[in-house]
Amino acid sequence: MTSWVGTGRSTATLSQVDSVIRAIRRTPIIDHHAHPLLKFESQGKHPLISITTEASGDAIHAATTSLPHIRAVRQLATVLQCGYTWESVVAAIEQRRLTCPEDWTVQCLSGIQTILVDDGLDGKDEAQDYDWHDDYTRSGCKRIVRIEKVAADILKKIGRNCDASTVTVDDVLDDAFSEWISEFDGHIRAAIEDPDVVGFKSVICYRTGLDVAKMVDEDAAREAFGEIITNFTLMDFTRLQEVSLNGLVVHRTAMLIRDSNGGREKKKPIQFHTGLGDNDITLPKSSPSHLQEFIRTYPTVPIVLLHAGYPFTREVGYLASVYENVYADIGEVFPCVSQDGQERLLRQILELCPWSKILWSTDGHWFPETYILAIMQMREVFEMVLCDYVRKGHIGCRAAIELVQNVLFKNANKLYHLGLELSELEEESDMELGPLPSDIELLQAFLKNQCPSTPDFVRICWNDFTASARMRMVPFRKFMSLLNEGRPTDISIPKAVFGMIQNDWLIPSVPPVGEYRLHPDFSSLKKGPIEGHISMYAEFREKSGARVPLCPRSVLQRAVEFGVDNKLTFLLGFEIEFLLLERFDRPVSGTSAAGTNATAARYGTLMTDGHAWSVSRYFADPKISKLLRDMVAELEDMGIFVEQLHAESATGQFELILPPVPPVEAVDTLLHTRDTMAALATAAGFKITLHPKPFAHACGTAAHTHMSISSENGAKPEVYESFYAGILKHLRGITAFTYSNPASFERVLDGAWAGGRWVTWGTQNRETALRKVEDSHWELKCMDGLANPYFALGAVLLAGTHGVRNKEKMVWGDCEIDPAKLTANDRKELGVKEMLPASVEEALNALQDDAELVGYLGEELVERYVNLKGFELDFLGEMTEDERRGWIMERY
């Protein structure tokens, strides 16, 4: 089942690919082409379904069966935390409009630096002014003047003022025509000088097509003008749509820009609608290739081809690549084209076009939802395509980040003379990329400093949905040859990896088809866990290099990045509680119906003269003392420095405490430490188990997690209290990850220092699920060793960070006693209203019912996790209690 991916040269590390992803997600956006939002009171008058389609009239209703619409429903439902149907999305949006339209608009326009607003659409009275949008962007918004609208408004005014008895006189028509041209020129000149106007827009594509004549036919234009004025009182003139008049307007605008003061770098551009549009367009005439002669005629006038010319995308890329004054926009296709179409489009535009000539826009209009969908989908597609290029070695990491910054910010900033700054982001990117060595450099440094003898094998490890530790092993010689030849070191793994339970049985909903790529993270390199081996933890990626939503390590990485985006950083430290058993070599007696061995014949409780918490007598046993000493020494040799080691309450139970480090490193270290401890115990004739309740009448075994957070202004109470309030708000759903096995709930008891059964917190209270230690340092007690820690801590950090973002209030009071002993009145005063789930089934239901938490984690991940856990529960349910205990001890 193993195969190595590709033969092309690729030197990008996982960290470098992630730097590209961070740039895509964090680069502020100059939205260089969009339209005003409707006034709040007017939003209900227009069809919301138009957000993903250019259709109108009766044709618009078919949009519900289109891929763009279905994708938009899924994405909006995730953001709105509502049901995944169009009806639910509409209801949720209407609720936002009623209760907090300003907050919803802020969320939809998040990430936008400024908007260049084309405010020439019909229905101006219902739309907000362009500068109204300043309250929702980081910098003030600017105007794009729609030239056909200017020309039509002037013509209407002249037509109304003309004397009906004289409009057929040639001299009157000539004067009116000259007045029209003169006033139009005056408007364009004024706009060129106006600092709030940064460009112009033509919709000639809609009116008469892009096949603009090379020269202005002024006689034909005068005749067409006369026809309109002569019949003005008889016709309902609304817009300019005569070939000669529209051509004249476009040419005069270009001439005025060409002849304006200042060099080429100071001239304001003309945007041309091309391709994708409503049914006013004559499709063959919407290809930007028709503009080639016009482009040649005005070589000093910047010209922007909007909407990627879809479906004429390659034509746009070609024109922008061969003409200095032409730029390619790739807006509106997000969200009006399917994801596959968007990916193909981005690849097509990059086939020829330099990224210094590409700009991105939302083409947002009327509804704020058009903005948020465009941004979400752009980031998703940019990740897929650019990560693919980086992983294949088609483009370097720095170049990919430059591409992102150019397309989203720098190109528009320069073209429209905005004078905005991107220095902070550039410095961050340089700081991130500057010290990042290649994979082979990381490995060479590791071997030199920590592994003087040549290893035999390289382990590439992951932790699956059942928290089973899995890995692939590669002979070191093979691994080094791949690196030295510049070939990828990622491994093909079946997509079914996230559909298997502990014994490799596949859940029915997951087919045995498809492959992921397992990408080792060289920054996680450690010796061990046995002699001759070195290990790395890895993330699952698509073939393109984009993240897999189901990958547990990626969930935690995403949570950390979300924290950074909200100015938060985290440290995690783990307490490893474990039970030490004696291992016997005598024959096994009996096999269960579930295929498990009779564990009682294999493992035995350590001999004891009175074991208790923190007692010293156990360390007098030379075998046990040597094992524990070897554990600490071996871990220290690997660069893992144990902070404490002591006996716990149950017979043969101990606790080893790890130092606080950043989250992903902390979980990698936790898993590597467990593997190392287990290997040393096995070699010494012992067995380590993390079973949460190994003995019915003794203390259970947990995996307590210490957390501390810091914001840009330090660890302030208003920040960390909102963080922990966010965790408590979602703790019942989070429990599906922290207590993931029926055995987990055998440990959940009152009065056993196990974190209790209530959703609450307390200062130095070990009977609460969250124990406040000091300031922002708190301990999560409701977690054990059967949890996948990437999932568990990813859910915790996402919930907490959203708590900070939403300014959640700590509605729970400081519980100073065992919550189980609170009276009903005590609980009311402290806000203690909910209990933790009492079973895996209840925890999974709580997770599914928590729409916000599902949105944070992703519907796909939650659905797969719930399905797999249900399948696992059915399997475990066929065992007796003893069989199940033995089966778990063998595996954890």
Tens of pLDDT, residues 17-38: 778 888 898 899 999 999 999 8
d(CA 585, CA 600): 12
What does the pLDDT read at residue 596? 42
Residue type, position 232, single letter? F
What does the DSSP assignment read for 813-835?
A: ----S-GGG--HHHHHHHT---B
pLDDT (mean) for 582-611: 57
What does the DSSP assignment read for 387-433?
A: HHHHHHTSS-HHHHHHHHHIIIIIHHHHHTT-----HHHHHHHHHHH
Domain ranges for the chain, please list them.
Answer: 146-197+214-266, 439-548, 557-569+715-881, 571-689
How far, CA to CA in Å, does 818 sit from each of 101, 761, 824? Answer: 43, 10, 13
Q: Between 57 and 90, name the one with better pLDDT.
A: 90
What does the pLDDT read at residue 794? 96
Query: pTM score, two decimals?
Result: 0.67
- Given a contact cutoff of 8 angstroms between Cβ atoms, the answer to whether 413 and 113 are in contact is no
pLDDT (mean) for 860-883: 92
Among 451-455, 529-533, 696-700, 887-891, the range scoring the smallest mean pLDDT is 696-700
Would the CATH topology of 557-569+715-881 be identical to that of 571-689? yes
User: Class of the 557-569+715-881 domain?
Assistant: alpha beta
Task: Count the Cβ atoms, other than its own, within 10 Å of residue 629.
Answer: 12
Among 8-22, 703-717, 821-835, the range scoring the smallest mean pLDDT is 8-22
Which strands, in side-by-side order, build the sheet including 112-118? 29-34, 112-118, 142-146, 197-202, 270-272, 303-305, 326-329, 358-359
What does the pLDDT read at residue 164? 59
Kindly give the pairing relationship between strand 142-146 and strand 197-202.
parallel
Which pLDDT band holds residue 597 (cuts at 50, 70, 90)? very low
Q: Which CATH number describes the domain made up of 439-548?
A: 3.10.20.70
Which pLDDT band holds residue 272 (cuts at 50, 70, 90)? very high
Which pLDDT band holds residue 230 (cuts at 50, 70, 90)? confident
Q: Mention every residue, 6+ apart, whose C-beta is less than 8 A from residue 649.
A: 611, 612, 613, 698, 699
- Given a contact cutoff of 8 angstroms between Cβ atoms, the answer to whether 746 and 694 are in contact is no
**For the chain, what percent of residues have pLDDT higher than 90?**
51
Radius of gyration of the chain (CA): 33
Q: Which CATH number describes the domain made up of 571-689?
A: 3.30.590.10
Task: Count the Cβ atoms, other than its own, within 10 Å of residue 567.
Answer: 13
Task: Count the Cβ atoms, other than its own, within 10 Å of residue 774.
Answer: 10
pLDDT (mean) for 211-224: 90
- Given a contact cutoff of 8 angstroms between Cβ atoms, the answer to whether 272 and 304 are in contact is yes
- Given a contact cutoff of 8 angstroms between Cβ atoms, the answer to whether 580 and 680 are in contact is no
What does the pLDDT read at residue 125? 79
**pLDDT tens, position by position, 649-695:** 878 888 899 988 899 999 999 999 999 999 999 998 888 999 998 87
What does the pLDDT read at residue 169? 62
| Nearest 10 degrees: Cα torsion 748, 753, 756, 759 | -130
Average pLDDT, the chain: 86
**Residue 223, pLDDT above cutoff 60:** yes
